[in-house]
């Protein structure tokens, strides 16, 4: 190595909880490798206590996030896209390395991720008009149905698609007012940590998104059984037996469950509105009409 080559300052990869970047309370890390098998970094390995703390942070943030105006949430999600755009090159490099993609593929994935945030940003103040209704009941009542966020959503992010898949499961949950605890891809965690940095600089209130790097097989059961989690997205669980057991755990407090897809998802296609509506409740209100 030439003696005057500059030594780089290497990042410490930590968890993202409550808007801050703590190490795992367990003190553990695991080794993350790129697609070629080269060591990249020691990444924090989240424990059940980290998961517990993340749920607390998400619950604390829920009251404020869900009561912001949809316009405000939309603006914040758009700001995330602005910040992502600024880090485009960094993400391309990380996706390339982590997924073993070509530069062209990685660029397409990153661009799609940015555009996906923009797409979801625009839904914040429109989902109610598309899924809500005034209902023509047979009586002198004004009867209307509105969507409301379900609460704290636990998400196991896709294992393969380190950025686009991650964005595609997180954005739809939070745009409508939910707060989330996300377990990132075990083998490809690097873009997730960089995404946390983006979120931390996007005016997103702390606790709305909490990101845990670590082993889903270890962490997900604690989220699935947590009685203060309202919904769980099992997309990133590859093992069918584990997925079934998690769904059974989740049934204890009747969480809304998103099962893993049988075939790998094509994250590039139009997502539709299902990932938003899954984490929305419908509230129907009646009021008499009279003088």
How many residues sit close enough to other proteins to count as binding (CB under 8 A)? Answer: 23
125 binds other proteins (CB under 8 A): yes
Among 16, 123, 222, 279, binds other proteins (CB under 8 A): 123
Q: Which of the stretches 33-41, 69-77, 99-107, 241-249 binds other proteins when contact is defined by CB under 8 A? A: 69-77
Residues 214-243 that bind other proteins (CB under 8 A): none
126 binds other proteins (CB under 8 A): yes
Give the Cα separation of 239 and 241 in Å (integer).
6
Residues 103-122 that bind other proteins (CB under 8 A): 115, 118-119, 121-122
286 binds other proteins (CB under 8 A): no
289 binds other proteins (CB under 8 A): yes
85 binds other proteins (CB under 8 A): no
CA 288 from chain centre, in angstroms, equals 41
291 binds other proteins (CB under 8 A): yes
Q: Work out how close the CB of 81 gets to other proteins at its nearest, in angstroms, rounded to a whole number.
A: 9
Give the Cα separation of 279 and 46 in Å (integer).
25
21 binds other proteins (CB under 8 A): no
Among 35, 71, 215, 252, binds other proteins (CB under 8 A): 71
Pairing of strands 231-233, 256-258: parallel
Q: Work out how close the CB of 144 gets to other proteins at its nearest, in angstroms, rounded to a whole number.
A: 11
290 binds other proteins (CB under 8 A): yes
Q: Work out how close the CB of 282 gets to other proteins at its nearest, in angstroms, rounded to a whole number.
A: 17
Other beta carbons less than 10 A from residue 289's beta carbon: 9
Question: Looking at beta carbons only, is 102 or 282 nearer to other proteins?
Answer: 282
Under DSSP, is residue 26 helix (H, G, I), strand (E, B) or coil?
Answer: coil
- Closest alpha carbon to 237 in 221, 253, 222: 221
Pairing of strands 133-134, 141-149: antiparallel
Question: Looking at beta carbons only, is 74 or 151 nearer to other proteins?
Answer: 74
How does DSSP assign 180-206, residue by residue?
A: EEEEPPSS--HHHHHHHHHHHTTTPPT
Q: Which of the stretches 54-62, 72-80, 194-202, 204-212 binds other proteins when contact is defined by CB under 8 A? A: 72-80
Among 273, 277, 278, 281, binds other proteins (CB under 8 A): 273
What CA–CA distances, in Å, run from 170 to 76, 163, 165, 192? 14, 11, 9, 11
Q: Work out how close the CB of 130 gets to other proteins at its nearest, in angstroms, rounded to a whole number.
A: 5
User: End-to-end distance of the chain based on CA atoms, in angstroms?
Assistant: 87
64 binds other proteins (CB under 8 A): no
Give the Cα separation of 239 and 186 in Å (integer).
14
Question: Looking at beta carbons only, is 177 or 216 nearer to other proteins?
Answer: 177
Contacts of 115 (CB under 8 A, 6+ apart): 81
Token pair in block for residue 259: 């099962």
Q: 15 and 212 in contact (C-beta within 8 Å)? A: yes
Q: 30 and 45 in contact (C-beta within 8 Å)? A: yes
Question: Looking at beta carbons only, is 31 or 71 nearer to other proteins?
Answer: 71
The residues of the shown chain that bind other proteins, judged by CB under 8 A, are 70-71, 74-75, 78, 115, 118-119, 121-126, 129-130, 142, 273, 287-291
């Amino acid at each position: 190595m030439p003696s005057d080559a500059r030594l780089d300052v290497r990042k410490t990869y930590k968890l993202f909880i409550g808007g801050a970047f703590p190490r795992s309370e367990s003190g553990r890390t695991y080794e993350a490798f790129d697609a070629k098998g080269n060591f990249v970094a020691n990444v924090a390995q989240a424990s059940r206590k980290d998961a517990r703390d993340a749920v607390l942070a998400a619950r604390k943030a829920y009251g404020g996030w869900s009561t912001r105006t949809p316009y405000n949430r939309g603006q914040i999600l758009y700001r995330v896209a602005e910040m992502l755009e600024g880090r485009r090159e960094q993400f391309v490099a990380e996706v390339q390395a982590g997924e073993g993609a070509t530069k062209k593929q990685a660029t397409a994935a990153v661009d799609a991720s940015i555009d996906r945030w923009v797409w979801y940003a625009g839904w914040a103040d429109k989902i109610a008009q598309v899924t809500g209704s005034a209902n023509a009941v047979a009586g002198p009542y004004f009867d209307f149905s509105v969507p409301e966020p379900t609460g704290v959503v636990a998400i196991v992010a896709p294992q393969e698609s380190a950025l686009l898949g991650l964005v595609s499961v997180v954005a739809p949950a939070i745009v409508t007012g939910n707060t989330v605890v996300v377990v990132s891809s075990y083998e490809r965690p690097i873009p997730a940590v960089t995404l946390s940095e983006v979120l931390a600089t996007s005016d997103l209130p702390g606790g709305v998104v909490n990101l845990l790097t670590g082993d889903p097989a270890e962490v997900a059961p604690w989220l699935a059984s947590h009685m203060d989690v309202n919904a769980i997205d099992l997309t990133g669980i590859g093992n069918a037996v584990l997925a079934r057991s998690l769904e059974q755990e989740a049934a204890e407090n009747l969480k809304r469950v998103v099962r893993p897809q049988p075939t790998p998802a094509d994250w590039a296609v139009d997502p539709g509105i299902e990932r938003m509506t899954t984490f929305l409740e419908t509230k129907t209100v009646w009021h008499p009409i009279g003088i």
